[in-house]
Amino acid sequence: MGVHLYVSGSSLRSQDGVGVGSSVAAAVAVGALCAAGIYGAFLGLAADSDSRSLVEAAQNILAGRYIPSRSFGNPLYEGLVAGTLATGAGLVAVNLLSLMGSLIAVGAAAVLARMIGATPIGVSAVIVAVALHPLMLTNSSALMETEASLALALAFCCLSLHAGLARDPSRSALVATAVIGVALVLTRIDAAILVVSMGTALAYHGWRTGSLRLLVMQLALLVLIGVVSISIYSVLNGGLSFLSADVLQTEPWGRRLVRAVLGVGNALQLVGIFAVLIFLMDLYGKTSAVPIGVRRTNIVRDVFGHALLFAIVLFAVRFALLPDELEYLLIPLVLGLVWLMSAVNSHLVVGIILALSIMQNVASIFLFDRSPSGELVFRPALAAGGLWQDMSLRRNVLTIESEGFRRWLAAEAGLPDQIVELQTHGPGFISKSGALVISRLNLYQIDNPRLMQPRYRSAFYDQIRACDRELFPGTGWRVLQRPAVERASQAYLSGDHLTCELVTRQ
C-alpha cells in the first residue's frame, strides 16, 4: 500500500486538519531559524565582503552622499541600514533585521502555499523546507539584502495573485502591489525578473481567458514599476550608464556553465532534490496531484505555476551568466519549494523533509580542494554543514578584523611597526606602504587573467608577502570546496608563528 504524497480531491475531507507531527515539525523549524538568527546577530558582519560594502554605503548616505555598495547598488536596503545606524543601534540591531526578514519570508511562503491550495499539512511542509534550508539559516543574521529581498518577493507574489485574480480588485490592493514591486527591485535589482514573470503570467491568463481588464492592468503595473525603479536608479547613479556595467569578466563560458550547474545542485540541497524526485514519481505514477479547494484555488496555482516557470528560466540564464553566489538562486528556489511542498499531503513526508533538513545542516558534501600549490583538485569529502561553517567563518572574521591581529600579521609578514587592513574585495591584507600580505594558497589570484580588477595585479602593490596559513578562509560549502584547516587566526590566538616570504615578481 503506497503512501499518498500529494493532495488529491478525494483526500480533502480527511486531511484538512493539522496533525500533531506536522505542526511540531513546523514549530521546530521556525524555532531553529530564530535560534540561528539570534546567535548570529552577535557575530558582527557577514563573512561576505559585500556586507562590509553595505556598511560603507550606509555611512556614505549618513554623510550626505550616495555611493553604491556594489554594481548598481541596493538603495532601499542601504537606506534601511543607514536609518538603523542613525538611531544609534549597532550591528546587532541591523543583523536582527535579517532575522525579521527571514520570519516574514517564512510567513509569506505559508500564505502563498495556502493560496495555491495547500492543506495545513502542506503548509507545514513548506515551512520546514524553507525555514531549515542552509541559505535561510546562514542569511538569517547576515548583514545582507538577501532576506529582505526574499520577504518582499514572496509578499509581491501574494499581492499580485490576490489583486490580479480578484473580480474587482481594490485600489489599495493595486497600489500595494506596485509599491512592493518597486521596493523589491530597489532592494535587489535582479528581482525584477520575478516582477516581469508574475506580470507576464497574469497578463497571459487575462489574454487566455479574454479578460482585457486583467491584461491591461498587468501591463500598466509592469510599466509603472519599471519606470519608477529605473528612474530612481538613474537619479542615484547619475544616469543610465549603470545599465551597461560589465559584470561578466573574462571567465570562459564552459567553466561558467559547469559552475552554474554545480551551483544549482548545491542550492537544491537534499530537500530540494527530494521534492523534485517525489514530484517526478507522482507524474510517472500518474497519481492525482491536483490542488484542493474551490475553483479559484486551481486558477491561482495555475497562474503561479506559469510565473514560476518564467522565473526559473530567466533566473537560470542570470545565474549561468554570473554563477558567483548561491543567494542569486534563493528567490526561485524558495518559490519552487513552495510550489512543490504545497502539494504534500502526508505527515510521513513532512517527517522525511524535517530529517533531510537536519541532515543537510549537519554535514556538507565537498567535491574540490586546494593543493599546496593553490591548484583546484577533485577530492570528494564530507565536512560540517553550511550553518556551522558560516558561523565559524564569522567568528574568524571578528578575529582577523581586530587591531591586535592586524598588527601581529604585519609583524609576522616582516612589516614591523605597521598595521595592515583587510581589503573589502581583494586577495588579502594591505599596508599603508602598499605591501600585500596574502596566503600562499591564494597566490593563484595574482595576475590571473580571469580576475581583471587592478587589486589582482602584482603591479598594484609595492611588494607581496605570502604566508603559510589561510588568512581569510573561503566560503567552503557554497562552492563545494573544503574549508581551510590551518588558519592564521588560530596561530594568533594560540601564540604560534607564521612562515611568510617575499614573493618574487615574474
Q: Which DSSP string do the residues of 301-356 spell out, in sequence order?
A: HHHHHHHHHHHHHHHHHHHHH----GGGGHHHHHHHHHHHHTTB--HHHHHHHHHH
Q: What is the mean pLDDT of residues 55-69?
A: 94
Count of helix runs (H) and strand runs (E) in the chain: 17, 7
Q: Which of 155, 38, 48 is nearest to 97 (CA)?
A: 38
Q: How many whole angstroms separate alpha carbon 323 and alpha carbon 435?
A: 31
Q: What is the mean pLDDT of the chain?
A: 88
pLDDT of amino acid 301? 93
Who has greater pLDDT, 13 or 396?
A: 396
% of the chain residues with pLDDT over 70:
89
For residue 7, pLDDT beyond 70: no
Who has greater pLDDT, 486 or 482?
A: 482
pLDDT of amino acid 1? 33
pLDDT of amino acid 505? 63
pLDDT of amino acid 297? 52
- Cβ pair 449, 78 in contact under 8 A: no
For residue 29, pLDDT beyond 50: yes
pLDDT of amino acid 474? 66
For residue 291, pLDDT beyond 50: no
Question: Which among 241-255, 309-323, 447-461 has the top mean pLDDT?
Answer: 309-323
CA dist 313 to 126, 187, 193, 301, 482, Å? 22, 21, 10, 18, 30
pLDDT of amino acid 293? 34
User: In this predicted model, what pLDDT tens digit does every residue of 181-227 receive, in sequence order?
Assistant: 999 999 999 999 999 999 999 999 999 999 999 999 999 999 999 99
Q: Which of 282, 283, 275, 339 is nearest to 307 (CA)?
A: 339
Strands 376-384 and 363-370: antiparallel
Q: How many whole angstroms separate alpha carbon 163 and alpha carbon 173?
A: 6
For residue 10, pLDDT beyond 70: no
For residue 12, pLDDT beyond 70: no
Which residue is listed with cell 604585519?
A: 410
Q: CA 387, 391, 397: angle at the middle one, nearest 5?
A: 145
For residue 445, pLDDT beyond 70: yes
Helix axes 75-86, 212-237, angle to 10 degrees: 60
Under DSSP, is residue 41 helix (H, G, I), strand (E, B) or coil? helix
pLDDT of amino acid 296? 43
- Cβ pair 124, 34 in contact under 8 A: no
pLDDT of amino acid 294? 35
- As beta bridge partners, residue 435 has 463
pLDDT of amino acid 247? 52
pLDDT of amino acid 330? 97
User: In this predicted model, what pLDDT tens digit does every residue of 84-143 receive, in sequence order?
Assistant: 999 998 999 999 999 999 999 999 999 999 999 999 999 999 999 999 999 999 999 999
> Per-residue confidence at 262, pLDDT binned at 50, 70, 90?
very high
DSSP 8-state assignment for residue 172: H
> Per-residue confidence at 2, pLDDT binned at 50, 70, 90?
very low
For residue 344, pLDDT beyond 70: yes
96-110, 333-347, 446-460, 478-492: segment of lowest average pLDDT? 478-492
> Per-residue confidence at 485, pLDDT binned at 50, 70, 90?
low
Q: What is the mean pLDDT of residues 320-344?
A: 93
> Per-residue confidence at 9, pLDDT binned at 50, 70, 90?
very low
pLDDT of amino acid 205? 94
